Amino acid sequence: MSSCPDYIIEFMHEYLDEEIPEEHKQELKEHLQICADCKQHFNELVKTVALVQSTSHIQTPENFTEKVMMHLPREKKKVGIKRWFGRHPILTAAAVFIIFMTASVFASWNQDDNFSVTKNKNIIIENNTTAVVPEGKTVEGDIVVKNGDIRIEGKVDGNVTIINGNNYLASAGTVTGEIEEINKVFDWLWHKIKDISSEVLQLFNSDKDAK
Amino acid sequence: MEDIVKKRIKEVRKGDHNAFGEIVELYKSKVYQLCYRMLGNSHEAEDIAQEAFIRAYVNIDRYNIDRKFSTWLYRIATNLCIDRIRKKKPDYYLDAEIAGTEGMNMYSQIAAEGMLPEDEVTSMELQALIQREILNLPEKYRSVIVLKYIEELSLNEISEILDMPLGTVKTRIHRGREALRKQLRHI
């Protein structure tokens, strides 16, 4: 056999893998007829395969399935929640939306803690924290003061809104509209909503007027 | 069969515990057989086969439903067996059943030695001998031989289970066969 080419053994394995091309098969067949050593090698391989395949089926232990089921981990809450999200995409989207909305509301509440006031030539700023409407002057239109106080000694022809601050209305001062003080997030939110809805209403009314 | 399995898997994913029981029932024999031939010890085989099913359950979301389930499951089981073989220190339990036999342990083996004439090899002993030779194979040849001849899987499936190229699978099967031939030729 030592004189036989190596590929004869290769052909044997191709045969056992059931992947032997026809011409290899022919060559192997012819070789096995003339070479006793190779024939023996081949027979031993065939026998080996048969022996391995002959091993009897081993019985699976009793209660195997029950034991597996007993050992399955309890469903984790996390998995449950994940699955719930997976199955309720719209609710998930709504929840995410609400989270972002809340976050942005708080962010915009906290964001601008600088003093600001509606621009008007008749408003004077004191100490960078107080807006003053001096005596004898008249501000036409609404005033919004953020993160600061307002002292009104003159006249305001409109509404006054103070966010995060106080208003001091001098006895001589007058405001023709409403005075509103907002110091809490929810007040502020409410104010925003009122603002938006009154704008919408106005739009609606002007629409009607146009008709 | 694959269709039923896939239906069950979808139920498992929805949280139906019991559907998994049916999957275990369908595959337990194949998986246990694989572990037993790889490890040669019924205690360990049961241990690893159970572990394989538990891992399949835990990772069921990672299974690609378009692929064959058995391939995925065998892959988990084979990897667990290989890990166990690599970690294993040689250990022998006298009361453990001898590989490939039923109801035969090392005690009966000690007693039986010398009592039977050597040419009178019983079928039980032959089974034990074959199993021992399979276990003597290095792990890389053992897994391909077991998958090919015990589980009767195609070379392509074996290549997928072991995540190695088809050529490597073939080479290993050839070497495994040659190694076994040397040990079993005189029977």
The DSSP code sequence of A100-119 is HHHHHHHHHHHH--S-EE--
Q: Which domains does chain B have, with CATH numbers?
A: 1-91 (1.10.1740.10)
Residue A71 belongs to some domain of the structure: no
Does residue A105 lie in a domain region? Answer: no
Domain stops at, among A17, A35, A53 = A53
- CB B177 to CB A57 under 8 A? no
Say if the Cβ atoms of B130 and A51 lie within 8 Å.
yes
Q: How far apart are the first and last CA of chain B?
A: 39
Q: Is residue A106 part of a domain?
A: no
Cross-chain residue pair A65–B50, CB shorter than 8 Å: no
Cα–Cα distance, B172 to B174 (Å, whole number): 5
Is residue A199 included in any domain, yes or no?
no
What was the ipTM of the complex prediction?
0.78
Cα torsion B173, B178, B184, B185: sign = positive
Q: Which of B22, B50, B58, B157 to mutate to test the interface with A (most CBs of A within 10 A)?
A: B50
Q: What is the extent of the structural domain holding A127?
A: 116-184
Backbone angles phi, psi at B153, to 5 degrees: -95, 155
Tell whether A88 is within 8 A of chain B (Cβ).
Answer: no
Question: How far is it, in rounded angstroms, from Cα A15 to Cα A39?
Answer: 13
- Our count of domains for chain A comes to 2
Q: From first to last of the 187 residues of chain B, give the pLDDT tens digit.
A: 788 889 999 989 888 888 899 999 999 999 999 999 999 989 999 999 999 999 999 999 999 988 999 999 999 999 999 999 988 755 555 455 555 555 555 555 444 444 444 544 577 788 889 999 999 999 999 999 999 999 999 999 999 999 999 999 999 999 999 999 999 988 7
Domain assignment present for A84: no
Any domain includes A202 = no
Q: Is residue A72 part of a domain?
A: no
B184/A55 Cα distance (integer angstroms): 13
Contacts of B29 in chain A (CB under 8 A): 57, 60
Q: Are A163 and A182 in contact (CB under 8 A)?
A: yes
% of chain A beyond a pLDDT of 70: 86
- Measured CA to CA, the distance from residue B148 to residue B142 in angstroms comes to 10
Q: DSSP string covering A145-182, please? A: EESSEEEESSEEES-EEEESS-EEE-TT-EESS-EEEE
